[in-house]
Structures are given as structure tokens and as C-alpha cells.
Structure 1
Amino acid sequence: MPPGILTIAADKVTLSPANTGFMLVCSALVMIMTPGLAFFYGGMVRVKSVLNMLMMSFISLGIVTILWVLYGFGLAFGNDAGGFLGWNGSFAGLSGIGLTQLWGATTIPIYVFAVFQLMFAIITPALISGALADRVKFTAWALFIALWVTLVYFPVAHWVWAEGGWLFNLGVIDFAGGTAVHINAGAAALGVILVVGKRIGFKKDPMRPHSLPLVMLGAGLLWFGWFGFNAGSWLGNDDGVGAVAFVNTQVATAAAMLGWLAYEKLRHGSFTTLGAASGAVAGLVAITPACGCVSPLGAIAVGAIAGVLCAMAVNLKYKFGYDDSLDVIGVHLVGGVAGSLLIGLFATGGVQSKAKGLFYGGGFEQLGKQTVGVVCVLLYSLVVSYVLAKVIDLVMGFRVSEDEEISGIDQAAHAETAYDFTGAGGGTAARKGPALGEALTKKVDA
């Protein structure tokens, strides 16, 4: 994602209504990805914790939005301080920004860039929630989001995307979030899992998805929104780079879905809907950092490789004994690592930048840079996330009680149920009226 200095013009840059409108549409597309993620994750959990899973994504829309306006945008994209963090007093509260003040040398207002980046900041912690399904306190999760985006996401976004960020200056390519979003979230998920532990019944009780149609709906919304996620990350639509990113997003996702299904058929004997949805998401993850620097043929390779690798990786939790409930590590961490490193092999040097991968005559230079970015973001997020989760656990406890976990978090935390099979209603309003048993008794007596 260019910070603005990559757009070079001979004349004074002016606001482009077309690019501004395009980026507002892309921002809306990225926003819909968080509800899409909620459906994707919500369908994969058991009935007793559907609402909690949905809320773990939705609450990020509230918390991160406020923090981003207050100080997050300034920390991530303000004036650089040593390559690791930024700050600009005009960005605090978004109160010192002119109505048509442009972002760097781009043709879009700062407000538009800020809201586009906000949507990235919102979905990244929501990704982590899938690893923690069925067992964490909602209050502890909300506190974790606030601390995590402040100490992890905002700094890492600065490293990768901001002018002066140390990974940006190093030449690490991350078009739309392979390191800052997916590796960041996947490593954080592992860190928190190591603190909260396994679900009751892990590897013993069946924990199958309760609604595969919801999973497919969520995957479809993610796929749709991801075009804004990737194509919009060039911050304009003037030179064709965004169009290439759009095409590569579609191509890699298709290839990954087919790769996952092929592996699944060979390994388990079936083509499953869950595999198709998971494979598509794996492809979206992998092409995210690479969509602006590979050709469509390269995108096929990136997608197919990621689809197979992620399909293999989701089984590692059973081998190593960590309970990644909805395969955040297997899909987002592994897919993000794969996509980021494959740039070092398949970058053509003819789209986003002149950097070339190994297969296009660039040697190992870009692969080395990508490796540095992957390792540093992974380790930083893993360690800080573990420490944050440990502190929260010591102060207020991160997990729900055993009884609440067994009976279901929906009733304990939200006083609601996702589905009503009695006709009496599943929400709090229904419970304020006569109890169902009383109503039935009166009917029988009558």
C-alpha cells in the first residue's frame, strides 16, 4: 500500500473526484468484510456460542473506530519517529485536517485515506477471535482488542505502510496486509491460545460447524469485500495497478479453492463446502501482499500453493495440541507467510514496483527482505499478544467458567440465543413476559 509518496506527477496534484469516490466505495467494501467474517466464523461454531462469535467481530467495529479517531491514525500514519511509530497532533481526533487536504501526493483527501485504513484496523483483531471460540469472557476480549490494536496493530501498520516505517524503508512488499493484517493476527492468535488453553472436550467431543450455509455466506461476503481490500490499496485508479490487483485477487482465490479441494479429496475422500470456503479465504489471504507485484499466472501459483499448504496446516493443531478453534493459524498465519514469501519468487518487477523475484531474475534479494518482514512481525505480535493475554488473565481472568463454557456463552454473556425453536422468542424481551411453561399450563387448564 503506497503511503502517498509513490505517486509522481509533473504538475500540482489536485483532488480527483473519481479516485475519491472509488476509495469510498472500497472503504465500504472492506467494512462489509467484518460482518462477513462474523458469519464465516459464526457458522463454524456450535449453536450455543453463535451470538458470542458474531459479537466478537462486531465489537471491533465499535472499539477500534473510536481508538482510531482518537489516536490510532496518528500512531500508524503520523510523522515518523525512528521508523517504529508515528505521530501528528493534527490527526488526534481527526480535528486538524482540512476538508480537501490531500494525503501525500495522492489525489484523495486525508479523510478518505483515514477511513479506508480504519477498516483494515477493524478487521485485523476480529480475525483473531476465531481462534478463541467458545471459551473467553466478552469483557476480557473487548479489553484485549483495545490494548492489542494500540500496542501491536498501530505500530506494525506504521512499520509496513507509512513513509519512514522501517520495513517500508527496507523494501518489504506488502500490498494490502500480508504482514500487517494476516501474519499479525495469526501470530496474535497463537499467543493468546497459549494463555487461555484448550476448549473443554478438545479432541474428544464433536465440535462440528452448526451452519455451513452461514459459512458459505460469510466466505462470499469476504470474497466480495476483498476486491476493495486489495484493489483499493493502490489509493487510486489511474495507472492500472489496481486493476491488476483486482484480477489477481479473483484468480488466486479460485486457484486456492481448487487446490484445497484437491488436497481434501486425496486426503479425506470428499469435496466439502467447508473446504471450499476455507480454501477461498486462504487464497484471499495469500494474494493480499502479492496482488500488486505478480502476474495473473503468478497469482494462480500463489493461490494453489497457499490452498494446499493451508489445508495441510489446519491439521497441525491436533498434532501439536494447541486449540485453534476455527483455524486462524492454519489459514491466516500460514497463508500470510506463504503469500509474503512467494513475492520473493514471483514478483515480476513490472506492476507495483521494479522489485523482481527469484524466478524473474531478481535473485534472492527480495526473498530476503520478505523473510525479515515475516519473521519480525510474527515474533513481535506473538510475544506482545502473549504478554497482554497473560496480564488480562491475571487481572480479571480471560476464560469463562467451566459451567458457562459447557452450557454456552450466548446465554451467560449476552442473555440471548441464536435460534428459537419454541416460538417464544430467544431474546431478552421474550423473557420479560410470561414464562413459556406458565403459558402452556394456562392453555391446558382452559
Structure 2
Amino acid sequence: MNAVLIAVIVMLVLSLARVHVVIALALGALIGGLLGGLGFEQTVSVFSDGLGGSAPVALSYALLGAFAVAIARTGLPEVMVSAVIKLVGKSQDSRRQALSKALIFFLLVIVSCFSQNVVPIHIAFIPILIPPILKILNELKVDRRAIATILTFGLTAPYIFLPYGFGAMFHEIIAENMNENGLPIQLADIPTAMAIPTAGLVVGLLIAIFLTYRKRRTYENRALIGVKQEKQDYTRASIIVAVIAILLTLVVQTISDSMIIAALAGIIVLLAGGTLKWKEADGVVTDGMRMMAFISFVMLAASGFAAVIRETGHVDLLVDQVANIVGDSQAAAAFLMLVVGLFVTMGIGSSFATIPIIATLFVPLGMAAGFSPLAIIALIGTAGALGDAGAPASDSTLGPTAGLNADGQHNHIWDTCVPTFIHFNITLFLFGWFAAMVL
């Protein structure tokens, strides 16, 4: 019995059963470690040592949460809500509401895609942009699951296909690991190979927006966690300072490549501009950390989980078992290779970290099965990306939840992970398999 498969299945089943995802990750890691022969003490030790892997990101989210709460207190959300209400009209005209929703969807797709390639800030924009517009989404009765799929699409599709920003890093990892394992390729080949799998993500996004989540859904107009319900006082100066703080945060994130420094820069601007009072700063930071505590703890637990399943050595064993099963069938080989990628990425929570693991054996396995270099690229790239959408411990799902659950009305598993898994992993799997067959 493969410890990686069991650990991931236990984690997913417990999460779907509404067991807290941190507990699900811990129990999955424990069971996986025991089945992998690590023993109780070593499993606990590896899990504990692995917790530090996501500490910088967890702290980043906590500080970005503080920045988001501070922005909410500037009155900027009130201005945005008022502007959209004027655009929509109090008559609840369906055509104007539809146009407003389409505009918001389009802008979120553009911003989230740009966050991977043009201005590579990754998930840093979500706690800043999404919480202030929740009231707007409520006014339009937008199903937040549609927003979750839009954000996850933007966090996933661009780096898979486009060789810029994080995409350049992803493509370089694929090329380097394939070269190291005996199959030299050119970076220019990767976009060609990944075009069909990326088309699968586009199809999944269109299905989510125009079919699955097109109906109206009602949410309560709650205050953000850490922000009082009463209307926020604001002036033109406070709005200007808030906008400057947001822009500076994005610029600093791009230059420093540190969400921690970026969030601190934004908070300093709000303090210097007088919109965040010095005596209120302690409470704002505490409230922001409270809002992002769930995400931070999931990230920490996910690092421990990934450390345990890597330590068992059963990831390589899983790939070896696949090699023994497929025989000469290309269709079966492609199918099982993608299944392995799905389980490994769901467990590790990172497509970037999955590529070096699976390329070691996917290259010789693909060559033995007679796949072309382009087909092997498509299999490795797709297998690495599978699970990034839908994984409880992935940035691509934790990021959207961080923003959409700022008022406590968005469930991480059922409102982000399940929708994104259904619409993206299934289509990516099918299109990735098809790519391997035709390239």
C-alpha cells in the first residue's frame, strides 16, 4: 500500500467531511508517515521540522491581512460600493447588473493573470483587492464560487502557458529537469506543448462562469473580520492615501519579491498619511492577523504534510509502480502518469515542487512508451499543475479563500477547493491526456 496515496486520500476525505483542514493535514501526515515506515516519533519530528517551510508566507499573509483591515478603515470600500451602486442603479435593472458583473469578472481575470506574468506579485493582491469589493459582489448577488474559479484560473493558467514572470520559472524547472534526465529540450517548445492543457483550463473557467455559477446567490452584508459594522468615516485625503498605499505595496512587492516588506510599506504609508492612527495600529494588526490566521495555519500544516510524504520515499515508489503497470500502452501510461501527478501535487500543494520529483521517472517512462518530446513536456507540465487547483494546501486555493472569506461567509473546502477541482483538474486532466496522444 502506497503511503502517499493513503495520506492524500485521508486528508481529502477528512477535509470533505468538514474536519478542519489543519487537523486533516496533521492526521494524513501521521498515517502516511506510519505506513511509510517512519515510525511515530520520526513522523512527528519530520512534520514539526517541515512546519518552518511556509513560515515566511504565513507571516506575509498575516501582515497583508493587517493591511487589508487598515484599508477597510480608510473608507475606500464605501467609495467603491457607492460607485458601483450608481453604475448598477437602484432600479435593479438586470441589464446594468449583468454588465457590471461582466466588468468585474473581466477585471479580476486580467488582474489575477497579470499577477503571474506581467507584475509577478502572485497572491499578494488578493487580501488587498477582494475584501473591499465583497459588498459590491453582495449587491450584485454574485456567487463567490465563480470568483474563486476566476482567481484560481488567473493564478494557474498563465504560468503554465506563458514564459514570463512565474511562467519563466515554471518552464525553466521543466526544461532543466528534463535535460538532467536525458531528454534535452528547448524552452520555446514548452508553450507549444502546454497550449492544449491550458485550453482545458479556459474551458473549465467558461463552464463555471456561464453555467455552474451563473445564478444569483445571496450573502449577508457583514463587516470584515476586525472591522466594525458601522459606516467608516472618510475624507478625500484618506482615499488618496489608501490608493497610494495600495499602489506602493504592489510596487514594493515587485521590486523586493517580499510580501512581508510590501505589507509593511503599505502600513507605514497609512500611518504616515494619518489615515491609520498610531494608537489604533496595534489593534489593526491583531485584527488582520486574526482574519488571516486560518490561511497561515493551513500553510504551516501543509509544509509539514509535504515534508512527511517526501521523507517516506513513497513518491518514487508510486512512479515505479506506475511504470510496472502500464506496459506498452501509451493511453494507459499517459492516464496513470497524470494520476500520479494529481496525487503528488494534491499532497505537496505546489506544482513547482512537484516537477523535479516526477520528471526523474516520467522522462525515461515516457521515452520507453514512445512518446514524443512535446508529449512528454505536456505530461510533465500537466502532471505538475494537476492538483494545484483544488488542493486544500495550495496557494491557488488558499489565496482566493483569504479574500472571499474576509467576512466569514466562504468555506475553503466547499466554496473554493471543490469548485476549482471540478472545473479545472478534470478539464486539465482530459486535455493533458489528449495532448499526450496527439503531440
TM-score by length of 1: 0.28
Which structure ranks higher in relative contact order (CA pairs < 8 Å, sequence separation ≥ 6)?
2
TM-score by length of 2: 0.28
More helix per residue:
2
